[in-house]
Amino acid sequence: TAYGLMQFNDMKKVGGKVDQEMLDRTAKWLMDRKDGKGGFSRNGRALDYFGRASEEVTNAYIIYSLSEAGYTDIKKEFTAAYESAKKGDAYVMALVANSAYNLNEKAKGDALMSDLLKKQNKDGIFAGAAHSITFSTGQSLDIETTSLAMMAIMKSKNYTGELMSSVKWLMSARNGYGAFGNTQGTILALKALTEFAK
């Protein structure tokens, strides 16, 4: 559902006719799954790869999705995700850093960026993640994590050299058919590169 919210929110940004009431219902459905402890209740059945992601990854992704779509009634959940992100998983750190900037938590965003940049290797890749929301691993995970980190860097309005290094690597990761790893990697790479072009 969080993935769907992201999809329709992105469609809306590029002029697609998207029903705001549908977006609000989707966000409300997610909000109604708050567990009262700073996370979200999940269905115990993992019917596809989305259901297999860790609790930390899932919560961080839901918060990222809601904050990207402009919903802000997630302060408790954001605080819990922020504490979880400090454990050092680069994918979670990138999601939560984006959420921090979306929620006007600049100090927390900057603190996470400082730690996240330590995960960037000399080629521009942000490594050091276990898996993504779609349970990606390998190069697809590197593409997703690097793309999310790039978007957080652009929101921070700092670290131009680090950003350029990641842009260069991401462009080299595109295959001959115009894709960047798996579908989610391609979506996030195009989103990051479009934001960079703007």
Q: pLDDT of 68-109, one tens digit each?
A: 999 999 999 999 999 999 999 999 999 999 999 999 999 999
Mean pLDDT of the chain: 92
Q: What is the pTM of this model?
A: 0.92
Assess contact for 179 and 186: CB atoms under 8 A: yes
pLDDT band at 16 (very low <50, low <70, confident <90, very high): confident
Give, rounded to a whole angstrom, the gap between the first and last alpha carbons of the chain.
28
Q: What is the mean pLDDT of residues 161-180?
A: 93
Q: Is 5 left (phi over 0), alpha (psi -120 to 50) or beta?
A: alpha
In sign, the C-alpha dihedral spanning 81, 78, 55, 34 is positive
Give the per-residue pLDDT at 48.
Answer: 54
Q: pLDDT of 188-197, one tens digit each?
A: 999 999 999 9
Q: pLDDT of 32-55, one tens digit each?
A: 999 999 999 876 655 555 557 899
Give the per-residue pLDDT at 13.
Answer: 84
Q: What is the mean pLDDT of residues 126-154?
A: 94
Q: What radius of gyration, in Å, describes the C-alpha atoms of the chain?
A: 16
Q: What is the mean pLDDT of residues 119-133?
A: 93
- Give the integer Cα–Cα distance in Å for 156 and 39: 25
